[in-house]
């Protein structure tokens, strides 16, 4: 049974979500503030964390940041903030997905299933240990990225995006497909978040090198290949 840590300070909201999740067969524990959430994370293992952004003591963004220092447990941010800059900040901190309030419970359940499915597949599938193109080398198990023997630091989201491109090397991939595969969205939404992260990757991987690896195919999407 998947164990979910629900971090939500509004009692009526947490009770409603907990009942719905338990009805779906999940084991649910509720934390009411950021400090309690971190305490629960340190004491037990979780299949997934549903993390409200606006919680007492430590906000969800800070809680996510601290969890990511020691754990890759899937995290879905729950937030009333719908500004794209705020959402990118949340994803950049290490969240796997987000859902904005108000939401339908069916949407939340779908996102939970998607994130858990992707996580279980990643854990259970023996992917290639190392990917290489030109002088770029990515060690999947160690999550290390090097280009021309120089270490490149990537956020979790940047790494996941790069890995998906490398797993489909030479294939032009649409923004919608990247959004679905890397962010786990079940719908065509704000695809410009993909453009933002592609720009991040280019700044780190391509900008100072003569051979460019990440290319835009106008009207279609992106591809990683040698020039």
Spans of all domains in the chain: 3-124, 130-224
Determine the pLDDT at residue 152: 93
Task: Work out the burial of residue 105: count CB atoms within 10 Å of its CB; fewer than 13 is exposed, 13-18 middle, 19 or more buried.
Answer: middle
Segment holding 117, helix H or strand E:
helix 105-124
Q: Which pTM value belongs to this model?
A: 0.60
For residue 24, count other CB atoms closer than 10 A to its CB.
14
Listed as ranges, residues in the chain with pLDDT below 50 are 124-126, 187-188
Query: CA-CA distance, 38 to 64, in Å (whole number)?
Result: 9
Determine the pLDDT at residue 190: 61
Fold of 3-124: Rossmann fold (3.40.50)
Contacts of 32 (CB under 8 A, 6+ apart): 7, 8, 9, 14, 55, 56
Fold of 130-224: Arc Repressor Mutant, subunit A (1.10.10)
The DSSP letter of residue 124 is H
Tokens for 183, please give them: 């962010």
Determine the pLDDT at residue 121: 60
Determine the pLDDT at residue 122: 55
Beta-strand ranges (E) seen in 62-187 are 75-79, 97-100, 130-133, 136-139, 144-147, 150-151, 173-174
């Amino acid at each position: 049974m998947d164990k979910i840590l629900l971090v939500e300070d509004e009692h009526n909201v947490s009770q409603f979500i907990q009942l719905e999740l338990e009805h779906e067969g999940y084991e649910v524990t509720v934390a009411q503030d950021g400090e309690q959430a971190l305490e629960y994370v340190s004491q037990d293992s979780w299949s997934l964390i549903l993390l409200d952004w606006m919680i007492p003591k430590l906000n969800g963004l800070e809680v996510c940041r601290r969890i990511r220092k020691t754990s890759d447990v899937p995290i879905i941010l729950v937030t009333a903030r719908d500004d794209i800059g705020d959402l990118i900040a949340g994803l950049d901190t290490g969240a796997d997905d987000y859902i904005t309030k108000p939401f339908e419970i069916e949407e939340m359940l779908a996102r939970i299933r998607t994130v858990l499915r992707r996580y279980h597949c990643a854990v259970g599938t023996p992917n290639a240990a190392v990917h290489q193109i030109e002088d770029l080398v990515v060690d999947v198990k160690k999550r290390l990225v090097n280009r021309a023997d120089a270490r490149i630091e990537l956020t979790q989201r940047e790494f996941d995006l790069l890995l998906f491109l490398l797993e489909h090397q030479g294939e032009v991939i649409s923004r919608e497909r990247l959004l679905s595969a890397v962010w786990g969205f079940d719908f065509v939404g704000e695809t410009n978040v993909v453009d933002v992260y592609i720009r991040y990757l280019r700044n780190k991987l391509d900008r100072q090198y003569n051979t460019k690896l990440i290319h835009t195919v106008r009207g279609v999407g992106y591809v990683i290949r040698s020039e």
